[in-house]
A and B are shown apart, each in its own frame.
Chain A
Amino acid sequence: MFTLNNQLEMKKITVSSLISCIYLPSIVTVISYKGLLYTVGNGSSFYILVLIFVAEILKAFYLSESNNEAQQKRSKPGKSRASDIVKSFIFLLCVMFCFFVGIILFGAPVLESHEETLMLSALLTLLTVFPLIAHAGVETSMQLLFGVKSYTKDSIFEMLVNNSILTVCGAWLGAVVIPLDWNTPWQQWPIPCYLGALGGYLLSNATNCRRTCLGTCRLRVAATSRSVLRRRTRLYSDIYVSQNRFRVLARETELPATSV
């Protein structure tokens, strides 16, 4: 059922998700072992972002390296690559600023703790938009963001978009524990959201792995059969309705109802 290309993509997805599933928990483990887990909001924890940045770039290289030859031929010489990098950097800054504003709108302090909010928005940018850009370039990801292009055909895109959505959801969900009066150190802004974003990203990658390794075929089959079933019942109900209508018509025109 799957083409060779699809299987290749599947392999890539599996490997890259596995890599994220390994490197993120190890980072978190190391910093919590070092007792630095509660400093993730400070500017001093910038090295975490650098680590994630490196890992994501490596993953992106892996994802796009062995693309089919047609795309490799289209890739441009080094001069425009530099401008690409500048462009994507500016784009990333814009996205980060948007995240920053959004987080403040959602209830982060307006006038204080800008550093913490900035760290969180940087992390969100790194985990959501950055992999997309690194994989597909600025233009394509912009098109994706503004809904010009749909991504349903490409499963790598699908994975990346899924990752970003779950990351944002994780950060959103992380805010739930902030108002509780437990007075624990990890309730400080923005630690729950930061960890929530990491958790969301991790969860998304884990489900990716599970999906590609185990259940893709089965899920696909189940989904098709479900949609077929639904279509069929809708048909039946249409028939039922039209029969009714016919009956009413028959009554009104005083035809024998048995003729239906």
Chain B
Amino acid sequence: MKEKWNYILYLIWFSYLVLSALLMFGHGFLLSRKSLSDVSECVPLSNFGCDGRENSTTSEYCSEDEKIRRIASNPGAPMACSAARHRVVFMLVDALRYDFTQYDPSIENPLPYQNRLPVIQETLDSRPDSARLYKFMADPPTTTLQRIKALVTGSLPTFVDVSSNFAAMELQEDSSIDQLHKNGGKVVLLGDDTWARLMPGRWLRSHAQYSFHTWDLDTVDNEVDSKIYDELRKDDWDLMVAHYLGVDHAGHRYGPNHPEMTRKLRETNARLKKIIETLPSDVLLYVLGDHGMTETGDHGGESKNERTAAIFAYRGAGLSADIYGTGREVPQTDFAATLSAALSRPPPAPSLGTLMMPTLPKMSTTHTLLMLSNNLKQITKYLVRYGEESQQVSLEKLTQLINMTRDQIDKAASVYTENELNNYIADVRTVTENVRNIFREVWVEFDSLSMLRALLLLTLAIFFNWLITEGIPMERLPNIFASTFVSTGLISMAVCVVFCYTAYFFELLEDVEHAIFLSTGLMSGLLTCSLVIMHWDGITQRWYEGRSQLHERFSRSALVGSAAVLVSNSFIIEEGAVLSFLSLTILALIAWNVKTIKALALWVAFGAVLAATRVYRGCREEQGDCWTAGGNQPTGQASRAALVLALGSMAAVVAVARRHIGWRGYGVVLAGLFACAHWAVGWGTLGSPGRSKLLARGAWLVIVTMLLLLFRRDGRGAILPVSVCGLLLYVASSLVLGAALAPAAGLGLLAGCLAVALVAMVKTEGVTKFSLSARCSSSTICLWSLLACYMFYGAGHHATLGHVRWAPAFHAGDPQTVPGLKYVAGVFMFLELFGFPLLFGATVPLLALWGRPASTVGPRSQLAAVFALCLKFSLCFAIRVFASALSATIHCRHLMIWGVFTPKLLFESGSCAAALIGAILGAALTAWHTPSQQKSS
């Protein structure tokens, strides 16, 4: 059987095509903003002449006020440094949501996060001149790295940077801290080491702690506490950055509705009180949250709760008049300009914010004017520079914006009274808001060419492979794959790659990756097309003769329908219900085809299982009723009932499966026991986390060993190893899902078994005995893939970034502390999110082989059937991912593009990758275990 490994190679080839096209799409779609390396400069006041020009030749004398007015109203003049520098303490409390800071004495039974920071309200009441509290609106993405970048640069970091959250890179743009550092200011850093990695070498003293692996709530905070009061007493610094992580970690670990959150907030309260007491009266204190958190304690998306952070400003010697009023929304982009102004520096070059006057010390009108004009001049300069560097914003818009800012600068000279000043401040704010809105609109710069190319490549791959699986008669497949088709394909791909690299070497090409993807994709399209043309007679004959049954036709349209509704945001939000509805209908039609009581009973059981998974389905914020009813998953410990269910489901699966799988059963039992012990020992307050983690490691060891042992040949056919592989993947995914959600994994497995049992009963017209073509019908495989997609939701996930649970990455200890195990956490996360597509993909061969002695059909046609099924399964996922890519393209300016469509695309790509890997794994296992000798015909 020459074709045996050619099947696997072809599957790998197909996976490469789909994934490369997806990568290409991602490159075009998830582009980041253009970052300019410009740096703001300012000129000391003494270098200006009285006409408001630098190094002016006029020698007339004038007062400083006069001079500043001239400078401020001259759009051509450079920025002038303001004189008064204040010392600033910048205390970042990660995930400080606005309602954490509010104090309402009328609440009788406050929630764990309510009324825990009374010091803020007390200070606001007792010293209204010295304290300010506002809502501090973060822009999505609300992840810490992006927020820190936004706070120091005043710009809008884009979505694609999310991926670099765990390996912070040096900031390329100008920032407030750079401004201060260049001017000889001294900065002290305490806390999270993201800062140190983002801006290395800027610190006078840095007490940074690696933050991500300290999953506990206190280490970083205690470290900061031990240093901060000493530092406050010193006066050799100009800016002190203190980053507290405890609240954020408490949110991630337990959610806001937990006593731990109360404890962390109380700590913060005491800390704040002490700091306010020890703070010298001329030092500015900013206490702010970089983002909020959802009701489950996660963040990353753009929901109101995640975006609404708090900012609290305090200065013992008083601040400017509060023209905003407590509780007003201010954008986070304003912070960089404000911080720079307090440190007597111009705003950093990429800043798009304006000054938050009420949080700055009192200043004379002229100095305020100077700062405002600095702000406007910097924005104008940025607009001009950005227009030079990039064509993102249309020229008319830019000109209009520049004219607006210039007009404002001109008006500065006529401002004298307090009232006029306030109006002027409001005008400047409106102008910057306009600028920011326009940039926010266009800042997601799509590379439409590569997006369209990627869509084309996906179309090519899907269309021709669909023709191959649905058209070419099953009897011909072994011969095709025994021929030189696959090797020709691989050689031509290699030629393409070599050609591209040669062209790249001679600098004929710029983007070699893009070129490789494009050329290999087109070449494979050509090859598959020629294959289709060569077998056109077989395809037409099969289509002409074959009349597919109702359930097949319906299931195809159901799959296409489930892909097509990805264009609508409401269907994406309710996708769990949609998928279970569709898969139940397909199975109902299959049962209708079988028409026996047993089939009906199986169908009802399947429906009941799917209905039971509804308990585990989570809610996303868009699902109003469900969300407010608190139907969202708890992130913390499993309840007692959940633990019992988890142990019971695992024990039941293992006990039932053990008898039928021979010696491999011992391995599965061992893995299951380890998993159960891991949950039981780690449960509750009496549990021992250390031992529990050790047990989890034991379980993983057994699972990996068993997976390797699957490749031991025992000559008893492929059914056993494939089902053992499925069982092992089940144990693995319930292990990562944790005790609270493990029963969902068991339900998923049960649903799969019921579906297999029902599918095995399908009759075909005129054929009484078993027929492979009935088994390979598209209804089976569509059902299988829809079920795999559904179980993503059934296991409590949702296609939002805020919904990703990070805890599973650490259930077996923190792998990042062990060298060489860096990627284990990534693998765990992948398994947790996409374990079910992987499981269902690996068990696809069972659909063809289940419930039948292997002797009725020769190994060649068995293998061909398995291959056809695996390819169809991959194809189903490719179709779905194509649809979500298409909908992301269509909706790229939609209101919910970052909230709904892009996360859907990301998660769909992930499950597509998992399904492809799973299908390859299953097919490889089958090929490995299928006996090679051929029956004489």
Which residues on A are within 8 Å of B, measured CB to CB? 101-102, 104-107, 110, 147, 172, 175, 179-181, 233-234, 237
Give the residue among B569, B607, B614 with the most A Cβ atoms within 10 A. B607
Asked if B570 contacts A106 (CB within 8 A), the reply is no
Interface mask (B540-556 → A, CB under 8 Å = 1, otherwise 0): 01001100000000000
Asked if A234 contacts B614 (CB within 8 A), the reply is no
Asked if A172 contacts B585 (CB within 8 A), the reply is yes
Asked if A105 contacts B585 (CB within 8 A), the reply is no
Residues of A within 8 A of B569 (CB): 181
B149 vs chain A, min Cβ distance (A): 33
Asked if A179 contacts B585 (CB within 8 A), the reply is no
Any A CB within 8 A of the CB of B577: yes
Closest partner residue, chain A, to B571 (CB atom): A179
Asked if B574 contacts A179 (CB within 8 A), the reply is yes
Query: Among the listed B545, B580, B595, which residue makes an inter-chain contact with A107, where contact means beta carbons less than 8 Å apart?
Result: B580
Known: A105-B584, A181-B569, A181-B570. A237 touches B608 (CB 8 A): no
Query: Among the listed A105, A107, A147, A172, which residue makes an inter-chain contact with B608, where contact means beta carbons less than 8 Å apart?
Result: A105
Query: Among the listed B570, B578, B604, B610, which residue makes an inter-chain contact with A101, where contact means beta carbons less than 8 Å apart?
Result: B604
Closest partner residue, chain B, to A234 (CB atom): B545
For the complex, give the distance between the alpha carbons of A101 and B611 in Å: 11
Any A CB within 8 A of the CB of B568: yes
Query: Among the listed A104, A106, A237, which residue makes an inter-chain contact with B581, where contact means beta carbons less than 8 Å apart?
Result: A106
Residues of B within 8 A of A234 (CB): 545
A237 vs chain B, min Cβ distance (A): 7
Give the residue among A110, A179, A180 with the most B Cβ atoms within 10 A. A179
Query: Among the listed A104, A147, A179, A237, which residue makes an inter-chain contact with B570, where contact means beta carbons less than 8 Å apart?
Result: A179
8 A Cβ contacts from B558-593 to A? 568-571, 573-574, 577-578, 580-581, 584-585
For the complex, give the distance between the alpha carbons of A234 and B547 in Å: 13
Asked if A175 contacts B581 (CB within 8 A), the reply is yes
B594 vs chain A, min Cβ distance (A): 10
Asked if B570 contacts A107 (CB within 8 A), the reply is no
8 A Cβ contacts from B107-141 to A? none
Query: Among the listed B541, B607, B622, which residue makes an inter-chain contact with A106, where contact means beta carbons less than 8 Å apart?
Result: B607
Asked if A107 contacts B604 (CB within 8 A), the reply is no
Query: Among the listed A110, A147, A233, which residue makes an inter-chain contact with B611, where contact means beta carbons less than 8 Å apart?
Result: A110
B549 vs chain A, min Cβ distance (A): 16
Asked if B604 contacts A105 (CB within 8 A), the reply is yes
Asked if A107 contacts B581 (CB within 8 A), the reply is yes
Closest partner residue, chain A, to B572 (CB atom): A179
10 A/B residue pairs, CB under 8 Å, sorted by A: A105-B607, A105-B610, A107-B580, A179-B570, A179-B577, A179-B578, A180-B570, A181-B570, A233-B544, A234-B545
8 A Cβ contacts from B597-631 to A? 604, 607-608, 610-611, 614, 622
Residues of A within 8 A of B614 (CB): 110
Closest partner residue, chain A, to B547 (CB atom): A230
For the complex, give the distance between the alpha carbons of A90 and B570 in Å: 41
B798 vs chain A, min Cβ distance (A): 14
Residues of A within 8 A of B610 (CB): 105
Asked if A237 contacts B573 (CB within 8 A), the reply is no
User: Known contacts A172-B585, A180-B571, A233-B544; can you find 10 more A-B pairs with CB under 8 A?
Assistant: A105-B604, A105-B607, A106-B584, A110-B611, A110-B614, A179-B571, A179-B574, A179-B577, A180-B568, A180-B570
> Interface of chain B, helix or strand or loop or mixed?
helix
For the complex, give the distance between the alpha carbons of A101 and B595 in Å: 19
Closest partner residue, chain A, to B570 (CB atom): A181
For the complex, give the distance between the alpha carbons of A101 and B585 in Å: 14
For the complex, give the distance between the alpha carbons of A179 and B614 in Å: 16
Which residues on B are within 8 Å of A, measured CB to CB? 541, 544-545, 568-571, 573-574, 577-578, 580-581, 584-585, 595, 604, 607-608, 610-611, 614, 622
For the complex, give the distance between the alpha carbons of A31 and B622 in Å: 33
For the complex, give the distance between the alpha carbons of A34 and B544 in Å: 54
Closest partner residue, chain B, to A102 (CB atom): B607
For the complex, give the distance between the alpha carbons of A180 and B622 in Å: 12
Residues of B within 8 A of A181 (CB): 569-570, 573, 622
Known: A105-B610, A106-B584, A110-B614. A179 touches B595 (CB 8 A): no
Known: A104-B611, A179-B577. A147 touches B568 (CB 8 A): no
A116 vs chain B, min Cβ distance (A): 15
Residues of B within 8 A of A180 (CB): 568, 570-571
Top 3 A-B residue pairs of the complex, sorted by shortest distance between their CB atoms = A105-B607, A179-B574, A181-B570
Residues of A within 8 A of B584 (CB): 105-106
B913 vs chain A, min Cβ distance (A): 27
Closest partner residue, chain A, to B606 (CB atom): A105
A142 vs chain B, min Cβ distance (A): 13
Residues of A within 8 A of B577 (CB): 107, 179
For the complex, give the distance between the alpha carbons of A234 and B545 in Å: 8
For the complex, give the distance between the alpha carbons of A233 and B570 in Å: 49
For the complex, give the distance between the alpha carbons of A107 and B582 in Å: 10
Residues of A within 8 A of B578 (CB): 179
Residues of B within 8 A of A107 (CB): 577, 580-581
Residues of A within 8 A of B568 (CB): 180
B623 vs chain A, min Cβ distance (A): 10
Residues of B within 8 A of A237 (CB): 541, 545
Residues of A within 8 A of B573 (CB): 179, 181
Closest partner residue, chain A, to B615 (CB atom): A110
For the complex, give the distance between the alpha carbons of A180 and B569 in Å: 8
B39 vs chain A, min Cβ distance (A): 46
Residues of B within 8 A of A175 (CB): 581
Asked if A105 contacts B574 (CB within 8 A), the reply is no
For the complex, give the distance between the alpha carbons of A182 and B450 in Å: 34
Closest partner residue, chain B, to A110 (CB atom): B611
For the complex, give the distance between the alpha carbons of A5 and B870 in Å: 54
For the complex, give the distance between the alpha carbons of A106 and B571 in Å: 16
Asked if A105 contacts B570 (CB within 8 A), the reply is no
Residues of B within 8 A of A147 (CB): 595
Closest partner residue, chain B, to A180 (CB atom): B570
B904 vs chain A, min Cβ distance (A): 14
For the complex, give the distance between the alpha carbons of A102 and B604 in Å: 8
For the complex, give the distance between the alpha carbons of A105 and B581 in Å: 9
Residues of B within 8 A of A101 (CB): 604
For the complex, give the distance between the alpha carbons of A179 and B625 in Å: 13
For the complex, give the distance between the alpha carbons of A107 and B570 in Å: 16
Residues of A within 8 A of B580 (CB): 107
B38 vs chain A, min Cβ distance (A): 43
A182 vs chain B, min Cβ distance (A): 8
For the complex, give the distance between the alpha carbons of A136 and B162 in Å: 67
Closest partner residue, chain A, to B568 (CB atom): A180
B608 vs chain A, min Cβ distance (A): 7
B559 vs chain A, min Cβ distance (A): 16
Give the residue among A180, A181, A233, A237 with the most B Cβ atoms within 10 A. A181
Closest partner residue, chain B, to A183 (CB atom): B624
For the complex, give the distance between the alpha carbons of A106 and B608 in Å: 9
Residues of B within 8 A of A233 (CB): 544
For the complex, give the distance between the alpha carbons of A179 and B568 in Å: 10
B215 vs chain A, min Cβ distance (A): 37
For the complex, give the distance between the alpha carbons of A110 and B615 in Å: 10
For the complex, give the distance between the alpha carbons of A51 and B622 in Å: 40
B548 vs chain A, min Cβ distance (A): 15
For the complex, give the distance between the alpha carbons of A106 and B578 in Å: 10
Asked if B541 contacts A105 (CB within 8 A), the reply is no
Residues of B within 8 A of A172 (CB): 585
For the complex, give the distance between the alpha carbons of A147 and B591 in Å: 13
Closest partner residue, chain A, to B609 (CB atom): A105
For the complex, give the distance between the alpha carbons of A104 and B611 in Å: 8
B578 vs chain A, min Cβ distance (A): 7
A164 vs chain B, min Cβ distance (A): 13
B788 vs chain A, min Cβ distance (A): 19
A83 vs chain B, min Cβ distance (A): 26
A166 vs chain B, min Cβ distance (A): 14
For the complex, give the distance between the alpha carbons of A64 and B568 in Å: 49
Closest partner residue, chain A, to B597 (CB atom): A146
Closest partner residue, chain A, to B577 (CB atom): A107
For the complex, give the distance between the alpha carbons of A104 and B580 in Å: 12
For the complex, give the distance between the alpha carbons of A101 and B607 in Å: 10
Residues of A within 8 A of B595 (CB): 147
